[in-house]
Each structure stands twice: as structure tokens, then as C-alpha cells.
Structure 1
Amino acid sequence: MTRIKYLALAAAILGAAGVATVGLTAGAAMAQTAQAKALVDAAKAQGIVGEQNDGLLGFVVASSDPALEAAVNEINAGRSQLYRQAAARNNVTVAAAGAAAFTEVVSTRLRPGEYYQSSTGAWVQK
């Protein structure tokens, strides 16, 4: 995929969905509760949850909080749905759509101190 197409895909995914630092905001393509977003926001600020290099959220450290696990699963389900739709519209793989969104989120929306996953899978603090 060319860099221009990759950037256009990322912009389309993020623009259409309103991707926030911690996940996707509610939109036509998916639903996310305010409670899930708030739980994930707090967990990201604490270094418990981070952005995986596939565009989904992941646990930087293990969590024993069922509500937080459910919130991450809820947001990831919405992101996955969005990536499938973007991939179909742009004739790319779902993995490419998720990777494009990840790149955009890390470069423009991730706050200092929050975590993201490197290409090798290691967690890195911004």
C-alpha cells in the first residue's frame, strides 16, 4: 500500500469514527458507553491499558478488574467492526486498516506517559 493511500485510509477511519486517544467515540459504525470510555481513559493514564500495534487496546499489565476487561472488549469490538468496514471500502486488509489507525493514534492522539506497542510487541511509553 502506498504511503498516500495508507494515510488516506487512516484519515478515513479516524475521521469517520471520531477515534479518541483511548478508543472510538460513539458513532454510526459502532457503540461505546461513556462508562467504558471513562474506565479505559483512567487505565491508560495509569499505564494499565495501551494501544496495540494492530489498532486495538491491550493490557500493558495484567488486570483483575472485570469491568475494565469488559470495557476494553467493548471498545475493541467497535474498533474491529470499524476496521472491517474501512477495509472493505478501501480494498485493503483488516490488518492494514487497524495498523493505519494505530499509526495515526500514536502520532497525533496518544498523550505523554501513555503506552503503545512497538512493531516487536514491546510496550513503549510515549
Structure 2
Amino acid sequence: MHTRNILGVSAAVMAALVLPVAAVAQSASAKAAVDSAKAAGVVGEQADGFLGFVTGAADPAVRSAVAEINAGRAQLYREAAAKNGVTAEAAGASAFKQVVESRLRPGEYYKPAGGGWTRK
């Protein structure tokens, strides 16, 4: 993949993730539940661009919120991939890098490819 494509994918994915309009299909309650779970160390960001469970102790509401947000991300990654001539997997990986670098708060967890959960 060329650097231009990576930057284009990153820009497209990050723009959609931060838009106030529902570019990523998620409800305000799902976002609030996931934000709270991330702060509590229950949910984290994975290298594939999707949310994952740091611990198995997530309640059904949090599991549902993660599923809702991940479904929206999957659609976003497919759209970004189609526009930029890359795979959806590459778009997700690009989004992960941007989220970890610019949006993940201290104390929240991420899981790099081939690694375990790491606290920022």
C-alpha cells in the first residue's frame, strides 16, 4: 500500500469517527456505555480497528454497545476501503493507529497486533 493511500484511509476513517453526525452507526447510549467501560478498563481498542474486551466481566448492556459500535465501524471501514482502493482490514488497522495516537486517553487499553492488552 502506498503512503498516499494510507494517509487517505486514515483521514477518511478518522473524519467519519469524529463527525457529530452518525457516520458510524451508534447511539449516544452505546457511546456512553463504551466510554465508561473503556475508562473502567473493561473495553479497549484492538489492532483490527474494533473494540474488544480486556476482561470478561462486561455486562450485557456493554456487550450490546460494543456490538453496535463495531457494526458501525465495519461499515465505515468497508466504505473507506472502497474509496481508497485498500482492504477493509487495512482501513481498520489504519484507524487503530490513529485512535491510539490521538484519541486514546491515559489509562485506557489497546491491543497491538500480535500483542496483549496494554495500558496507555
TM-score computed with the length of structure 2 as normaliser: 0.92
Residues 50 and 64 of structure 1: CA distance in aligned 2, closer, same or farther (over 3 Å) = closer
Indicate yes or no: 2:79 matched with 1:79: no
Give, in whole Å, the separation in 2 of the partners of 1:87 and 1:112: 30
Query: What percentage of aligned pairs have identical amino acids?
Result: 57
Q: Write out the 4+ residue segments of structure 1 that deviate beyond 6 Å after TM superposition.
A: none
Q: Which of 21, 27, 35 is 1:33 aligned to?
A: 27
Give, in whole Å, the separation in 1 of the partners of 2:92 and 2:33: 22
Q: Which residue matches 1:8?
A: 8
Q: Which residue matches 2:110?
A: 116
CA displacement at 1:64 relative to structure 2: 4.5
Structure 1: where are the runs of 5+ without partners? 20-24
Q: Which residue matches 2:43?
A: 49
Give, in whole Å, the separation in 1 of the partners of 2:43 and 2:59: 12
CA displacement at 1:26 relative to structure 2: 4.6
Give, in whole Å, the separation in 2 of the partners of 1:31 and 1:64: 21
TM-score computed with the length of structure 1 as normaliser: 0.88
Structure 2: where are the runs of 5+ without partners? none
Indicate yes or no: 2:11 matched with 1:17: no
- Cα RMSD, aligned residues only: 1.5
Tell me if the contact between 1:40 and 1:72 (Cα under 8 Å) persists in the aligned partners: yes
